[in-house]
């Protein structure tokens, strides 16, 4: 077994560091742009007199950084070559390694820099869940209409599954879509209901809205995804929700007889939940990598501070009460890092097999990954998000009053990463999935194959013995 990152991946990370040092960090330090990252970060980013929305200057700076990264060839890394990406065969490993590196970097790590500001899911190496849904599920007309605009930045789509009364129980959603005849005489649907936590609603051009079109509450079938233009009559933003980490771009949206053509359906009618699975596991493992990297950043900064800080005539680091919590956290980070990278490698292997072995009857790679590795991805995700919070909290304690101050990044890191214990599937949902495999309520689908292999080995052994 080789536990080193591949040489070409290490070389790519080195090139990325060079780009960030040469172009992104100078932009962050130019004029007064550091106000978005130092102790003034929250008020500089937030329109307190406009619903707590992000300030235009803040979002313009992020867009400028993405433009530089796109021109340098880094931003589109995870998407297909046809659209300017790398389409690497080991995409999950590479993306996890890149996110671990950027979140743990001593200069621009912690998820609080213009290179990788995770409060906004912003990074010079982009994440494209909406692109993946369009790419895998969109009709030819939808791809032609939306993907080029998405890459230019003038198509922005929210994701609408969670509702006011429903979160993890998405199959019980209240939003419905009823067949109607539109004003032009064509077939369409009328959407009525609500969605909550519609991230990016303040600047979106479209919303991906999941609505029940058949069957009853609790049935995963009968839910359809619709691409709804933001300016469609009946789409109303009821509020933006203030959160632990501001600014907010998380809207509650009400749909009142919103009429859309049949061509607004993304993917299959009545089977829209399958679309959400397209990016779930990629997002969860990448999120785990970022959380693990942020935890390492907090630990490294705490170790350095403890060595430099002198109390009662000796370094703070001489105290075992300081050492031992950092030893435990550092041990957990190292074990988690290895689990994340191994799981990412296994995801790439499953994806390759699903793509090459099954022909036209093959299940989509993300379905195979869910069946075989969903529990391992959940392990990585829930533990990494919890660990990031623990490491940030410990960093605040090690730094004392300085750690509690906003002049250090740890309070921001804690407030941001705390949300990941809820989003992308709460840690209770993740643990429930792990328990399902652990106690036999779910299977990977590989158990039968393993038994067949073992049976084949025994048969071969008996055959060989009879010939002697």
Neighbours of 323 (CB within 10 A): 14
- In tens, the pLDDT along 173-213 reads 999 999 999 999 999 999 999 999 999 999 999 999 999 99
Cross-strand bridge partners of residue 253: 195, 237
The predicted model gives 434-447 an average pLDDT of: 83
Q: What is the mean pLDDT of the chain?
A: 92
Strand partners, 303: none
Q: What is the 3-state secondary structure (H, E, C) of 119-187?
A: HHCCCCCCCCHHHHHHHHHCCHHHHHHHHHHHHHCCCCEEEECCCCCCCCCHHHCCCEEEEEECCCCCE
Give me the pLDDT at residue 17, please: 98
The model's pLDDT over 321-340, given as tens digits with 9 standing for 90+, comes to 999 999 999 999 999 999 99
Helix/strand/coil (H, E, C) string of 82-111? HHCCCCCCCHHHHHHHHHHHHHHCCCCCCC
What residue spans define the domains of the chain? 7-127+275-439, 157-266
Q: Structure tokens of 30?
A: 């130019």
Before 328, cis peptide (omega within 30)? Answer: no
How confident is the model at residue 237, as a pLDDT?
A: 97
pLDDT at residue 455, rounded to an integer = 52
**Residue 424: per-residue pLDDT:** 82
Rounded distance between C-alpha atoms, residue 258 and residue 206, angstroms: 13
Q: How far apart are CA 383 and CA 16, in angstroms?
A: 28
* CB-count exposure of residue 403 (10 Å: 0-12, 13-18, 19+): buried
pTM across the whole model = 0.92
Cα maximum dimension of the chain: 87
Burial 46-66 (b: 16+ CB within 10 A, else e): bbeeebbbbbeebbebbeebb
User: What is the fold of 7-127+275-439?
Assistant: Butyryl-CoA Dehydrogenase, subunit A; domain 3 (1.20.140)
Dig out the tokens for 411 from the structure. 């309070």
With beta carbons less than 8 A apart as the criterion, state whether 68 and 62 touch: no
d(CA 170, CA 219): 10
The tokens for 203 are 């600047």
Residues 6 or more apart whose Cβ sits within 8 Å of residue 254: 193, 194, 236, 237, 238
Report pLDDT digits (tens) over 45-91.
Answer: 999 999 999 999 999 999 999 999 999 999 999 999 999 998 888 99
Q: What single DSSP character describes residue 271?
A: B
Token pair of 207 as six digits: 């919303």
d(CA 45, CA 53): 8
Average pLDDT over residues 444-459: 54
**CA nearest to 71, candidates 80, 57, 90, 84:** 84
- Return all residues near 229 (Cβ < 8 A) that are at least 6 apart: 205, 206, 235
Per residue in 358-374, pLDDT tens?
554 578 899 999 999 99
Query: Is it the case that residue 460 has pLDDT exceeding 60?
Result: no
Distance CA 82, CA 281 (A): 23
Give the CA distances from residue 370 to residues 25, 315, 354, 376, 389, in Å, rounded to whole numbers and listed in that order: 38, 49, 12, 10, 26
The CATH T-level fold of domain 157-266 is Butyryl-CoA Dehydrogenase, subunit A; domain 2 (2.40.110)
User: Sign of torsion, CA 59 65 69 74?
Assistant: negative
DSSP secondary structure letters along 278-306: HHHHHHHHHHHHHHHHHHHHHHHHHHHHH
User: For residue 465, what pLDDT band results from cuts at 50, 70 and 90?
Assistant: very low
Band of pLDDT at residue 279, cut at 50, 70 and 90? confident
Instruction: Give the model confidence (pLDDT) of 383-440 as tens digits.
Output: 999 999 999 999 999 999 999 999 999 999 999 999 999 988 899 999 999 999 999 9
């Amino acid at each position: 077994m080789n536990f080193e990152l591949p040489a070409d991946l290490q070389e790519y990370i080195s090139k990325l560091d060079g780009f960030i040092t040469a172009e992104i960090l100078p932009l962050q330090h130019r004029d007064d742009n550091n106000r978005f990252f130092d102790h003034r970060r929250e008020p500089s980013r937030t329109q307190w007199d406009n619903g707590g929305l992000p300030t235009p200057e803040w979002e313009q700076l992020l867009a400028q950084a993405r433009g530089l990264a796109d021109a340098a060839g880094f931003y589109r890394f995870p998407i297909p070559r046809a659209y300017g990406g790398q389409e690497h065969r080991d995409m999950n490993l590479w993306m996890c390694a890149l996110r671990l590196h950027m979140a743990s970097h001593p200069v621009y790590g912690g998820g609080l820099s213009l290179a990788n500001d995770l409060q906004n899911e912003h990074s010079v190496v982009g994440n494209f869940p909406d692109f993946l849904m369009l790419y895998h599920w969109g009709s030819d007309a939808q791809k032609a209409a939306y993907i080029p605009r998405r890459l230019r930045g003038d198509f922005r789509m929210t994701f609408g599954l969670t509702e006011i009364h429903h979160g993890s129980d998405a199959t019980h959603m209240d939003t419905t879509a009823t067949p109607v005849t539109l004003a032009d005489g064509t077939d369409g649907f009328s959407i009525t209901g609500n969605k909550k936590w519609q991230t990016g609603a303040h600047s979106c051009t479209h919303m991906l809205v999941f609505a029940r079109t058949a069957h009853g509450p609790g049935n995963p079938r009968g839910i359809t995804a619709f691409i709804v233009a933001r300016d469609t009559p009946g789409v109303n933003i009821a509020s933006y929700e203030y959160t632990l980490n501001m600014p907010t771009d998380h809207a509650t949206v009400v749909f009142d007889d919103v009429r859309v053509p049949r061509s607004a359906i993304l993917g299959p009618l009545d089977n829209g939940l399958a679309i959400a699975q397209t990016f779930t596991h990629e997002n969860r493992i990448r999120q785990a990598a970022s959380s693990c990297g942020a935890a390492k950043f907090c630990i490294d900064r705490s170790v350095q501070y403890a060595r430099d800080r002198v109390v009662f005539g000796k370094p703070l680091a001489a105290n075992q009460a300081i050492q031992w919590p950092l030893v435990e956290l550092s041990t957990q980070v190292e074990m988690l890092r290895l689990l994340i990278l191994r799981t990412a490698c296994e995801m790439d292997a499953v994806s390759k097999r699903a793509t090459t072995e099954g022909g036209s009857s093959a299940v989509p790679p993300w379905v195979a990954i869910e069946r075989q590795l969903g529990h391992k991805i959940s392990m990585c995700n829930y533990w990494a998000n919890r660990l990031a919070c623990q490491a940030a909290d410990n960093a605040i304690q090690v730094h004392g009053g300085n750690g509690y101050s906003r002049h250090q990044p740890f309070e921001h890191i804690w407030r941001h990463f705390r949300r990941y214990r809820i989003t992308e599937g709460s840690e209770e949902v993740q643990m429930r999935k792990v328990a399902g495999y652990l106690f036999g309520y779910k299977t990977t689908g590989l158990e039968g194959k393993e038994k067949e292999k073992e049976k084949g080995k025994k048969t071969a052994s008996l055959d060989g013995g009879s010939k002697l």
